[in-house]
A and B are shown apart, each in its own frame.
Chain A
Amino acid sequence: MSASQFHNFGWAFFGFDYGSWGIMTFVVGSFLTSVPALAISMLVGLGIAIASTTYLPRILAAWLDPFVDLLAGIPSIVYGLWGLLVIAPYFGTTIFPWSATHLSWIPGFAPAQFAPTPGIGTSLALAIIVLTLMILPITTLLMRDALKAVPRDLWESGLALGATPWEVTRRVALPYAKRGVWGAAFLGFGRAIGETVAVFMVIDQIERLPVNIYGGTSTMASLIIGTFDNALLTNSYGHTYLHYLAELAIVLLGITLLVNVAGRWFIRRTYTEVAGL
């Protein structure tokens, strides 16, 4: 079988069984890490964007915002190293035992037989947290751009009618900037789902769905980098594995393309020339 032929894995490809070349485990794994990370970073990012455009003295915002933008440029391998060596031990010894006792009523927070709480800390939860920090500057930047584009007239009319700054933000500025917020969500998600190295370093990769937040799992991207050595084998398993990874990459590419097209439909252009947005 040559590398230029398309290997047909059949319908099992879209199934959950990794043993018969299914990818669904990793698609779900990708969403399980990206969606919570996106949700947190959208909330925090929206807060920062509102603080920057509505509440902070302008001079303070002018100092803090470039700093936040700069965070988007930190290489993911550095995040991964920090997550692995600094954050993981802290989470494993302090945060996880606490959350396993006190938050076990939340689904996924209870310790389980194959994913007991204490340990080295690398886990689904840590992957979500590192991912959150990595996309936070991007969602913040895009939403701040959107809020900054709200015309001053609207602001002043709202304030003149007696609305508080919060009310103007909530009922005038945010509806006006709605497209930008949606765009931030989609583009942030596109970043999160494609993130590879940092996620792999902290997720404690195993090729199955997570038992709880303290256990490992794997995403599409982390599976490619984590099991790439299999594809280097020169036997027929290696060849088939390369096909498998390539087709998995096509699925990942398809998802990110859809997400990015949607994001770009909401945001035509950005006004900040950092972060490669």
Chain B
Amino acid sequence: MSSALSSPSTFAFDDLTRDRSGHVRRRSWFDGAMRWLLPLLYLVAILPILDLVYWVARGAFPSLSLATLTANPTPGVGSGGGLYAPLMGSIAILALATAVALALGFLGGLTTAEYLDERSAGIVRVTANVMAGTPSIVLGLFGYIAFVTFFGWGPSLAAAGVTLGIFMTPYVFRATDLAYTSVPPHIREAAVGAGARPVQYLLRVASPIALPQVLSGVFLAMAIGVGETAPIYLTTTAVVLPPLGLLAPASALPLYIWSGFETGLVLPSAIALAYEAAFLLLVIVIGLNVLVRLVAARARRRLEGLFQ
């Protein structure tokens, strides 16, 4: 912010010999030290991650091949083979979870933004914000008690998907709420002035403006959800086959790494496969995050265009 207005030079003071105590020089020196030291802290955040990506890639690449994506893991989890089952499981669980999160989060967000009065909307928003901070392990235990045992679904794709969907709901909710409330008021006034009914306003005026932002929120929720381990570990079981149905157990990439960890990660092939799963996860998560950014930037440009 201030780099254009650079720190005061001590030159003028030397010239007029007014800085006899060295006070100004000291202050300026301290500022200069901070200017160089603080940016170095970026390294604390970035270097470990570069190291992480390096080691994951290094562990994954020697054995990464097309067979990794098409072969099932060999029985005896963590011992070798490919990642077809965990990948398919991850996709199935994520699809179900996204559907659940859309059903709850999108409709909830829409209702909050468009139909609730300020007071109730405030209460719902605070609840959603706080819900977004619920530890995933707590939600996982809830999923186990509610879906696996009480509803009797057993460890299954359905239990994992619904639990993960509940976990993702607040993110979708907030994106939807924010998207619809940030439609500029003059657009609504113009629509109502032109005689649009509320439904027409919602479907043909507000939604085209808001949906890109909702989409970026959905991608974000997916990026967060796909890497979650705790809720899935408690609600489904790692298996070596792709999910056979809603009530059949489904494996998942994070779950696969986890079961590899639980069985010790001793065999080189198990370690390699865990790294491959981690690498795939990283690719999926980073890809989704890039999508979030692209879609959000586009949505923002679109919204800004409306004010001109």
Contact = CB atoms under 8 A, between A and B. Distances in A.
Given A51-B42, A159-B2, A166 B30 contact: yes
Contacts of A260: 129-130, 133
Most buried by B among A57, A66, A78, A162: A78
Nearest to B54: A86
B281 interface: yes
B116 interface: no
Interface string A130-152: 00010011001000000000001
A203 interface: no
A62 interface: no
A226 to B, nearest CB: 10
Interface in A209-253: 221, 224-225, 228, 242, 245-246, 249, 252-253
A165 B31 contact: yes
A99 interface: no
How many chain A residues sit at the interface, stated as a range, is 35 or more
Contacts of B56: 78, 81-82
A156 B41 contact: no
A155 B258 CA distance: 49
A70 B289 contact: yes
Contacts of B134: 194, 253, 256-257
A197 to B, nearest CB: 4
A274 B2 contact: no
B138 A71 contact: no
Q: Is the interface of A mostly helix, strand, loop or mixed?
A: helix
Interface string A190-209: 11011111000100000000
Interface in A49-66: 50-51, 53-58, 64, 66
B224 A44 contact: no
A55 B6 CA distance: 10
B42 A77 contact: no
A76 B229 contact: yes
B46 to A, nearest CB: 7
B293 A252 contact: no
Contacts of A155: 1-2
B132 interface: yes
B236 interface: no
Interface string B282-307: 10011011001100100000000000
B135 A252 contact: yes
B171 A164 contact: no
B204 interface: no
A143 B208 CA distance: 33
Given A261-B130, A273-B292, A194 B261 contact: no
Contacts of B38: 47-48, 50-51, 54-55
A187 B133 CA distance: 8
B72 to A, nearest CB: 20
Interface string A15-52: 00000000000000000000000000000100110110
A175 interface: no
B209 to A, nearest CB: 16
Most buried by B among A50, A75, A195: A75
B163 interface: no
B44 to A, nearest CB: 5
Interface of A: 3-4, 44, 47-48, 50-51, 53-58, 64, 66-68, 70-71, 73-82, 84-86, 133, 136-137, 140, 152, 155-156, 159, 162, 164-168, 187, 190-191, 193-197, 201, 221, 224-225, 228, 242, 245-246, 249, 252-253, 256-257, 259-261, 263-264, 273-274, 276-277
Closest 5 CB pairs of A and B: A75-B227, A194-B135, A164-B31, A260-B133, A51-B38
